[in-house]
Amino acid sequence: MTESNIKVTLGICVKNSESTIKDAIESVLSQDYPYKLMEIIVVDGCSQDNTLKIIKSKLEEANVKVRYFSENEGVALARQIVVENAIGDYIVWVDGDIVISKNFITKHVEFMEQHPSVGIAKGRYIAFLDPKNVSLVAKLENIEFLLETASEVKPIFKSLGASGCIYRVKAIRQIGGFDPQIKHGGEDTDVETRIRERGWSFCISPAFFWETRRQNWKSLWNEYFWHGGSGPYLLKKNRRVYSFYKMFPPTAVLAELFRVPAAYKLTRQVSVLFLPFHYIFKRIALFFGFLKSFLEKSDSRQ
């Protein structure tokens, strides 16, 4: 195997994911895409559990090029390490809590080869395949992600997020990659904004994946509160990155009410009626995370 053969780099950025990483790695190893055409870059955020041990035990006998890195400054730096070290023409992001279908990489690569103007493509989300997603919170998160990727293969203008996406290396390097100054979430939205500004389009590809969702309201709150911590920096950097108005309940209610009929049509589940509450809950958590970070930054300047 030579580096010149590598077509795809799998970026696996993880931290404390021991409960889900086994399934993620096994889905990577079950791909029908030739091992000789791909490499794996693992960036561990100094996990304090068995995440890295599980990964190494699964990959040590696989006939695929693997490189390991570590960081302790946030997911943006982790992703940037992948960008700087990737050999392939494409980067496929496999987070520690997702499972990819057997032809996931094949479908992604075929799609990108057929659409040279696409900078980023997201796989289509398959809801309800993960048996862990049984709580109301997990089901509502599933429905949200199902709606986000339900569109046919055509240009889209919403944020995709990195998990389950394929990035064209040329596009991500053209804008200098991820911003390591982003310590919480939002690193993907920032990158997407800058890639769009360079004229690249975004699409949903025919590749399928699913994810283990948050199982209770507390963990969901903590996730979005954490994401909100990047808000002040992102807003200052580029106002188009951060949709501040979406955090306010009236806007959230209107946005989600219009999605309920489509959600019911796709799922036939009565639980879709809770989507407006679910969405407001996440936006409020995001707002408080934003506010906490803003106040901390204000205090540090005094």
Flag whether pLDDT at 133 surpasses 90. no
More confident residue, 151 or 14: 14
Question: In this model, does residue 155 exceed pLDDT 90?
Answer: no
H or E segment and range at residue 67: strand 65-70
- Rounded CA separation 85/102 (Å): 25
DSSP state at residue 94? -
pLDDT at 128 over 70: no
Residue 252 has what pLDDT? 62
The C-alpha atoms of residue 300 and residue 171 are separated, in whole angstroms, by 36
CA dihedral 65, 69, 75, 80 (to 10 degrees): -70
For the cut 80, the answer to whether the pLDDT of residue 4 exceeds it is no
Is the pLDDT at 157 greater than 70, yes or no? Answer: no
Predicted local distance difference test score (pLDDT) of residue 213 = 84
Q: How confident is the model at residue 61 (pLDDT cuts 50, 70, 90)?
A: confident
Q: Given pLDDT bands bounded at 50, 70 and 90, which one contains residue 107?
A: very high
Considering only residues 196 and 133, tell me which one the structure prediction assigns the higher pLDDT: 196
Q: How many residues comprise the chain? A: 302
The residue-averaged pLDDT of 41-62 equals 94
Give the number of other Cβ atoms within 10 Å of residue 239's Cβ: 10
What domains appear along the chain, each with residue ranges and CATH number? 3-213 (3.90.550.10), 216-302 (no CATH)
pLDDT tens digits for range 178-225? 999 998 889 999 999 999 999 999 999 999 999 888 889 999 999 999
pLDDT, position 271: 87
Per-residue confidence (pLDDT) for residue 267, from 0 to 100: 82
Measure the CA angle with vertex 170, ends 168 and 176; round to 5°: 110
pTM value is 0.90
Tell me the pLDDT tens digit for each residue of 224-276.
999 999 988 888 887 666 555 555 556 667 767 878 888 888 888 888 899 98
Q: What is the pLDDT of residue 219?
A: 94
Tell me, what's the pLDDT at 48? 95
pLDDT confidence of residue 243: 59
pLDDT band at 24 (very low <50, low <70, confident <90, very high): very high
Do 64 and 7 form a contact (C-beta atoms < 8 A)? Answer: no
Question: Rounded mean pLDDT of the chain?
Answer: 88
3-state secondary structure of 207: strand
**Residue 17 pLDDT exceeds 80:** yes
For residue 33, is pLDDT > 90? yes
> Which is more confident, 175 or 294?
175
